[in-house]
Amino acid sequence: MTLQRERGTDLTIFSPRASAMAHHIGDEATSMAWTRACNDLIARVCELYPQNFVGVCQLPQSPGAPLAHSVRELERCVNELGFIGCNLNPDPSGGHWTSPPLTDRHWYPLYEKMAELDVPAMVHVSSSCNPNFHATGAHYINADTTAFMQFLTSDLFRDFPTLRFVIPHGGGAIPYHWGRYRGLAQDMKRPPLGELLLNNVFFDTCVYHQPGIDLLATVIPVKNIIFGSEMVGAVRGVDPETGHNYDDTKRYIDALPLGDADKRKIFSENAARVYPRLARKLAEAAP
Q: Is 105 in the site for a copy of itself (CB under 8 A)?
A: no
Site string for a copy of itself, 186-225 (x = CB under 8 A): xx-------------------xxxxxx-xx--xx------
Dihedral pair phi/psi, residue 19, rounded to 5°: -70, -20
Choice between 55 and 94, CB closer to a copy of itself: 94
Q: Is 95 in the site for a copy of itself (CB under 8 A)?
A: yes
Q: Of 80, 230, 241, 269, which is the active-site residue?
A: 230
Choice between 9 and 154, CB closer to a copy of itself: 154
Q: Is 234 in the site for a copy of itself (CB under 8 A)?
A: yes
Q: Is 230 a catalytic residue?
A: yes
Min CB(231)–a copy of itself separation in Å: 12
Q: Is 56 in the site for a copy of itself (CB under 8 A)?
A: no
Min CB(63)–a copy of itself separation in Å: 13
Choice between 55 and 170, CB closer to a copy of itself: 170
The C-alpha angle with vertex 177 and arms to 269 and 224, in degrees rounded to 5, equals: 10
User: Beta strand pairing status for 238-239 and 244-245?
Assistant: antiparallel
Among 101, 129, 199, 273, binds a copy of itself (CB under 8 A): 101
Q: Which stretch binds a copy of itself (CB under 8 A): 77-85, 158-166, 237-245, 270-278?
A: 237-245
Q: Which stretch binds a copy of itself (CB under 8 A): 2-10, 62-70, 107-115, 146-154?
A: 146-154
Q: Is 172 in the site for a copy of itself (CB under 8 A)?
A: yes
- Distances in Å between the Cα of 237 and the Cα atoms of 125, 208, 232, 247, 254 are 23, 11, 10, 8, 20
Q: Which stretch binds a copy of itself (CB under 8 A): 34-42, 44-52, 79-87, 178-186?
A: 178-186
Q: What residue ranges bind a copy of itself (CB under 8 A)?
A: 90-91, 95-97, 99-101, 104, 130-134, 136-138, 141-142, 145-146, 149-150, 152-153, 169-170, 172-173, 175-184, 186-187, 207-212, 214-215, 218-219, 234-237, 239-241, 246-247
Catalytic residues: 230
